[in-house]
Amino acid sequence: MESRIETGACFCGAIAAEMQGDPFWICFDHDDDCRRAIGSPLTIWIGYRLDQFRLTRGQPREFSKTRGIVRSFCEKCGTSIAYRDEGLNDELYVTIGFFDHPERFRPQAHAYWRLRLPCLEFSDDLPRIDTYSRRRDPAFGNPVDR
C-alpha cells in the first residue's frame, strides 16, 4: 500500500512541502501566543515527526521569541507554517491552514482550553486540556516560564 502523502503551500505559493505518512497527533490549540503569532482565534496543529516533513519549494523564515520555540513562516506573504519546541523532541507541528486538504484531518483534543475565546463554542466530546496536550521534557520547563 502506498504511504499517505499530504501536500501544503503558503498563500503566495513560494513555500511548499510534502508530509509523508500519518500525523501522530492533531489538536485544537487555544493558546494566546499562537493566537497572536498566527492571527487567528485558534488553530489546529498537525503533528509530524521531523523526518516526515520535506520542503518541496522555497525556504521558510524562522522566528523565535521564547527560548527553544521556533515558528516558521513565508517571508513574502506571512503565512504561518510550523512550530517546533525543544521540549517536544522530534515533533513538528504544521498549521492546518498550510495544507492543500485540511478537511482530511480530525482533531483529537483541545489544548489550552482555559485560554479559549468566550465567543467560541464547541459541541464535540474531545478531551479538554488546560495546558499542553503533549508530554513535555521537564528539563525545558514551560514556555510561559522562560
From the CB of 139, what's the least distance to Zn ion, in Å?
35
Which positions from 72 to 91 touch Zn ion by CB under 5 A, shown as an x/- string?
--x-xx--------------
Name the one residue in this structure whose C-alpha cell is 493558546. Answer: 31
From CA 142, how far away is CA 146, in angstroms rounded?
A: 7
Q: Which is nearer to Zn ion, 12 or 117 (CB)?
A: 12
Q: How far is the CB of 78 from Zn ion (least distance, A)?
A: 7
Residue 79 CA to residue 58 CA, distance in Å, equals 13
Question: Among residues 23, 71, 69, which one has the least CA distance to residue 50?
Answer: 23
Q: Which three cell numbers stand for residue 144?
A: 510561559
By CB under 5 A, name the one of 10, 26, 46, 69 that touches Zn ion: 10
Enumerate binding residues for Zn ion (CB under 5 A). 10, 12, 14, 74, 76-77
